Structure 1
Amino acid sequence: MSPYELEQEFAELLAGSTPEIPSKAEFIAAEHLVDLVGVALAAVDEPAFHSLLRVYPPSAAGDGSARAWGTGINLARRDAALVNGFAGHFHDFDDDETELAMAHVTVTALTAALTAADSRPGTSGRQLLRAYILGFEAATCLGRLINPLHYKSGWHASATLGVFAAAAASGHILGLTPNAMRHALGMAASFAGGLRSNFGSDTKPLQVGHAVAQGVLASELAAEGLTSTPGSLLGPKGYVSFYGDGADASAVLAAFGAPFDLIGSGLTIKAFPCCTAAHTAVDGLLSLQAEQGFKAAEIEHIVCWVDPAVPNILVYDRPTTGTEAKFSLPFCLAAAAVFGRLNVTEFSDETVVHPDVWALMDRIAVQTDPGLPKGDSGISVSSRLSVTLRDGTRMERFTECVPGSSSRRLDRTRLFKKFQACTINVLGSGQTKAAFDALLKIAEVEDCRNLLDLICGQPAIHRIEQEQSVRARAK
C-alpha cells in the first residue's frame, strides 16, 4: 500500500464509526477527563493564566465559540482551545503517556474534543469520549513511527504529536469526512512544532496550548474545504520521514484499536505535579519516610540512580523558579523529604529557595544506571535510591512503576482527593463533589455543554474581573 493510501486509511479510521469503542476504554477515558479538568482548573488563579486570557478578546456566545474553563468567558473556538490547553498543562500535573507518544496526549486530544463540543450544541458525552480515544490513538500511532528518536532529538512530543491528536479529536466532533480528515492531518503536519529546550518556562504549556489550537484550526479549515498535499504525513518528504526512523506505517495502522492504546499504553495519571521522570524516585523516598519515620534533617546523603536519558530531561540541577523545579530531581527529592509531600504548593518560587530544601539538595547525588528495566520507549522510568542517615542507617529502595500508571492506577478515592485539591478554590466545596461525579458519568450526558456549565461558573469570572480592575487602577 502506498503512503498516500495509508494516509487515507488512517483518516478513515479516525473519521469513521469503526472500530467500536469498548466499555473499558470509555471507563478509563472518563477518569482521564476528570483528571484533565481538575488540573486545568488548578491553573485558573495563576497570574500567567490571567496574562494569557487578556491577549484573546472575548467572543459572543454561539456557534463557533467556546468557554475558557473555570471562567465562563466565551472565546473563539481555537482561542479557547489554546487557553484551555495551556491551563491543562500549566502545572505539569496532567496525565502522561511515557512509552509510545512519549507525550502528554490527553491535554491535546481531550481539550480539543471538549472545546469543540462546547461549540457544537447536542454533542453527547459518548461522542466526546470517542473523539478523545481516537485522537489519543492518532498520537500513539504516529509516536510508534517516530519515537524514541524524535523525543531524544529534543522535540517536545506533547506539542509535535499533540497537534495531530487535537486535529483528529476536534475533527471527529466537527464531523469531518475521511477525505477532510486527511487534509486536516496534512495541515497538522505543517503546524507541528515544540522544543524541549523550553521546559521549565511558561512556553512549555504554551506550546501545548498552541498545538491544541493549531489542531482545531486544521479541522476547521478542512471542514471549509481547504486542502493539504497527499504525502505530507506519511510520504517520502512528509512528517514521519523527517522526524522518524523508518518504522513500518502499514503494520502500525493494521494494529489500530486492537486494543486501543488508552487501555494498554504507558499512560499515567500523575501523583505529583512535576516531570514523570522524577516520579518513581519521589515515590520511593516518600515510601521509605512513611515506613521508617525519619525526617529530612536526619538524612546524611541520598544517591539516586536513573536511566541515562533522564539527566537530559531533568535538566535543572539547581533550579531558580518553581517551573524549573519541576525538572530538577534534586529539588523534587529534597522538597518531598522536607515537606513529606509533593503537591502544587511545593513548586512555588518561595519553596525553591527554602533553606532546608536547598541544604538537602547539596546532599543528593544523581547517577545513571543503563540496566534499569525499559519499556517500548527505550527510556526507563524506574529508579533506585540509597538513603543514608546521620546515625549510619542505610536504606535502599527500587521502584519500577510510576504511581498512577496502568499497573498502579490511582483508585477513585485518590483521584477525588487530587481533583478536590485542584478545584476547590475555583468550584467551592459544595460544587467539587458534584462536578467529580458528573464528569465520571460523561457517557450518560446528552449535551456536553450542560456538563461544562458545572466548570465554567461565575466565581472565577469575578476574580479575574477584580484582578483586571486593580491592574487598570494601578495604571
Structure 2
Amino acid sequence: MASIEASETELTRYVAEFVAGTEAGDIPEDVVALGKKSILDGLGLALSGSVAKSGELVRRHLDDLGLEAGPATVIGGGRKVAPRFAAFANGVGIHADDYDDTQLAVAPDRVYGLLTHPTAPALPAALALAEQTGASGRAFMLAYHLGVEVECKIAEAIAPRHYQAGFHATATCGTFAAAAAAARLLGLDVGATRRALSIAGSQSAGLRENFGTMTKPFHAGRASESGVAAAQFASYGWTATGRVLEAPRGFFNAAGGGYDPGAIQGRLGAPWTFAEPGISIKPHPSGSLTHPGMTEMLRLIHEHGIAADQVSRVRVGTNSNMPNALIHHRPQDELQAKFSMEFCMAILLLDGRAGLAEFTDEAVRRPDVQAMIAKVDFGVDDEAEAAGYHKMTTLIEIELADGRTVTGRADFGKGSPANPMSYDEVADKFRENAGFAGVADRIAGELVQRVRDLELQTSVGALTERLLHAGR
C-alpha cells in the first residue's frame, strides 16, 4: 500500500487515498477471514429479510418504479435491477430483522455497540457493483473491507453527540461505507473518490426515533443506495467539495459538533477494525445492546435451572446510553420487541431461546409473555455506568418465589470478539436464516462454501446466481 499521510485539513483526501490506493494483499489474512464471516452472515440475513413484510414492500416499490432489468441481483427477489436499487433492497433485507453485525467502540465515551452496523450498508453496495463490473471475489472482498473500515473509523471519530442526539450512525456513516466500496469497484482515482465521499456526505441521514419500525432497515438500504449513486455521479464528473468530512460546515461538525482527529487520521487499516477492536456477530435478532444481558440470562437459566413460574421479579441495570436506545418497555409487535430489554429477558425465561421464530407479533402478544414483561424492571445502574460506554455492561438480578436471588453480570455477549462465533457457527446461523426463506439445504451449503473460498472465485456471478432465486 502506498504511503498515506493525513492532516486535519486534508482528511477527506486521506480517506480517498486509502480507498483508491489499498490493495487486496494489504489486508491481513486474519482480517480477510473475519470479513468472510460477516459477508456470509450478511447474505443469510438478506435471504431471511427478503421474506419479511418489509421485503414484500420493497419489491412493491421496485415494481412501482417500472425498472428495466439490470445487472445487479435483488437477493431472494427473483429479479435483477440497476445497482443502486439492488443495494437499497439488499440493505433493507440485511437489516430487516436487526440480526446483523455491530461495530465495537474504543474510547469509553464512544457508546459501545451503538455506532454502526457495518455490513448492512457496505456489503450490498460492494455486491451490486462487483456484479455489474464482473469483479472477482478478491476484488469484491477488498471493496467490502474498504467500505467497512471507512464506515467504522468515521463512526469512531465523530463526537458522541451525533448518536446521543438522535442520528442513526448506520444510516449516516454507512453512506460513506457504500460510497467507498462503490468507488473502488468503479476504479475511481483519488480525486473522483474524494468527490464520491463528498456527494455521499450530503445524502447521509437517518433518525433513531424510527427504531422499532420498518424505517430503521430503510436507513441501511438508503445508505447503501446513496453511496452507490454518489460513486456513479462522481464517475460522471459531478462536482463536490473536497473537504466534506473536516470542513467547518462538513459532516463531522454539522452532524456531530466535532470529532476526534486521532481516531481516524493515520488509523485507516492501522489496525483494521475487524482486527481491533473487532466486530460482533449477533446470535439473536434484536438490538445489540440486549445481547450481553441475553447471553448472561441464558447462562443463569441453565446454571440454576430457572423455570419461568419460579420468577417473581427481574431487575436489569445498564449504562445510561442503553435505555436511550432500548426504548420499548411494553412492546406490542416484533419490531418494538427488538428494542425491548424487557421482552428479551421475558422470552428467554419462557421459551429458553430467542431466534427469528420468537420475534413475531404473535409471540410478543402472548399473554404469558406480556405478564413476564411486566415483571422485568430495566434501568440505569451506577456500576454499569462506571464501566464506560465502550462496554455494554449488564447486571441481572432474578428474585425467585422460594426467596432466592440469582445475580449475574456481562460486559460482552456471544458473538463479540471476546466470545466469538466461529465460521462454522456463523454457517449454522446462515443455514437457519436461509431455511427461514425457504432455501434448500443443498443450496445453502453451496453458498457457505462459495463464501469460504471467495478469493478463488473469478467473478461473483456464481454466488449471486444462487442468491437470485433462492427461496422463491
Question: If the length of structure 2 is used for normalisation, what is the TM-score?
Answer: 0.92
Q: 1:205 to 1:445 in 2, by over 3 A?
A: same
Q: Count how many residue pairs are aligned between Structure 1 and Structure 2.
A: 456
Query: For 1:327-338, what aligned pairs fall within 5 Å after superposition?
Result: 327-338=339-350
Moved more, 71-80 or 160-169: 71-80
User: Which amino acid in the other structure matches residue 245 of structure 2?
Assistant: L
Once the two structures are TM-superposed, the CA of residue 2 in structure 1 deviates from its matched residue by 6.2
Corresponding position of 1:416 = 427
Residue 395 of structure 2 is aligned to residue 384 of structure 1: yes
User: Which amino acid in the other structure matches residue 91 of structure 1?
Assistant: D
3-state SS in 2 of match to 1:304: strand
Distance in structure 2 (CA, Å) of the matches to 1:258 and 1:2: 16
User: Which amino acid in the other structure matches residue 425 of structure 2?
Assistant: R
Q: 1:206 to 1:247 in 2, by over 3 A?
A: closer
Q: 1:355 to 1:245 in 2, by over 3 A?
A: same
1:343-395 alpha-carbon deviations (Å, 9 max, x no partner): 011111111111111111111111312432778x8353121111121111221
Once the two structures are TM-superposed, the CA of residue 187 in structure 1 deviates from its matched residue by 0.6
Distance in structure 1 (CA, Å) of the matches to 2:412 and 2:243: 39
CA contact (8 A) 2:11 2:243 kept: no
User: Which amino acid in the other structure matches residue 413 of structure 1?
Assistant: D
Residue 351 of structure 2 is aligned to residue 339 of structure 1: yes
Match for 1:50 among 32, 46, 56? Answer: 56
1:281-321 alpha-carbon deviations (Å, 9 max, x no partner): 11111111112222111111111111111111100010111
Question: If the length of structure 1 is used for normalisation, what is the TM-score?
Answer: 0.92
Residue 130 of structure 2 is aligned to residue 117 of structure 1: yes
CA contact (8 A) 2:245 2:251 kept: yes
CA contact (8 A) 2:438 2:470 kept: no
3-state SS in 1 of match to 2:285: coil
Q: 1:458 to 1:257 in 2, by over 3 A?
A: closer
Corresponding position of 2:168 = 156
Once the two structures are TM-superposed, the CA of residue 449 in structure 1 deviates from its matched residue by 1.3
Once the two structures are TM-superposed, the CA of residue 126 in structure 1 deviates from its matched residue by 1.1
Q: 1:275 to 1:172 in 2, by over 3 A?
A: same
Percent identity among equivalent residues?
A: 31
Q: 1:242 to 1:362 in 2, by over 3 A?
A: same
| Unaligned residue ranges in structure 2 (runs of 5+) | 1-5, 107-113
Moved more, 175-184 or 19-28: 19-28
Once the two structures are TM-superposed, the CA of residue 114 in structure 1 deviates from its matched residue by 1.0
Once the two structures are TM-superposed, the CA of residue 59 in structure 1 deviates from its matched residue by 4.7
Residue 289 of structure 2 is aligned to residue 277 of structure 1: yes
Corresponding position of 2:84 = 78
Corresponding position of 2:109 = none
CA contact (8 A) 2:311 2:399 kept: yes
Q: 1:153 to 1:379 in 2, by over 3 A?
A: farther
Distance in structure 1 (CA, Å) of the matches to 2:230 and 2:385: 39
User: Which amino acid in the other structure matches residue 117 of structure 1?
Assistant: A
Match for 1:219 among 214, 231, 240? Answer: 231
Residue 13 of structure 2 is aligned to residue 8 of structure 1: yes
User: Which amino acid in the other structure matches residue 119 of structure 2?
Assistant: T
Once the two structures are TM-superposed, the CA of residue 133 in structure 1 deviates from its matched residue by 1.1
Corresponding position of 2:3 = none
Distance in structure 1 (CA, Å) of the matches to 2:263 and 2:133: 35
CA contact (8 A) 1:231 1:237 kept: no
CA contact (8 A) 1:284 1:399 kept: yes
Q: 1:2 to 1:281 in 2, by over 3 A?
A: closer
Residue 377 of structure 2 is aligned to residue 371 of structure 1: no
Match for 1:352 among 348, 364, 384? Answer: 364
CA contact (8 A) 1:134 1:168 kept: yes
User: Which amino acid in the other structure matches residue 265 of structure 2?
Assistant: L
Q: 1:250 to 1:228 in 2, by over 3 A?
A: farther
3-state SS in 1 of match to 2:358: helix
Once the two structures are TM-superposed, the CA of residue 55 in structure 1 deviates from its matched residue by 1.2
Query: For 1:388-399, what aligned pairs fall within 5 Å after superposition?
Result: 388-399=399-410
Moved more, 240-249 or 442-451: 240-249
Residue 121 of structure 2 is aligned to residue 108 of structure 1: yes
Q: 1:318 to 1:36 in 2, by over 3 A?
A: same
CA contact (8 A) 1:307 1:381 kept: yes
Distance in structure 1 (CA, Å) of the matches to 2:80 and 2:453: 25
Q: 1:412 to 1:379 in 2, by over 3 A?
A: closer
1:380-416 alpha-carbon deviations (Å, 9 max, x no partner): 3121111121111221111121210111111233222
3-state SS in 2 of match to 1:232: coil
Corresponding position of 1:17 = 22
Query: For 1:47-446, what aligned pairs fall within 5 Å after superposition?
Result: 47-57=53-63, 59-61=67-69, 65-99=71-105, 102-121=115-134, 123-249=135-261, 252-372=264-384, 378-424=389-435, 425-446=437-458
| Unaligned residue ranges in structure 1 (runs of 5+) | 461-475
4+ aligned runs moved over 6 Å, structure 1: none
1:69-97 alpha-carbon deviations (Å, 9 max, x no partner): 12330111101110000000000001011
3-state SS in 1 of match to 2:323: helix
Moved more, 36-45 or 143-152: 143-152
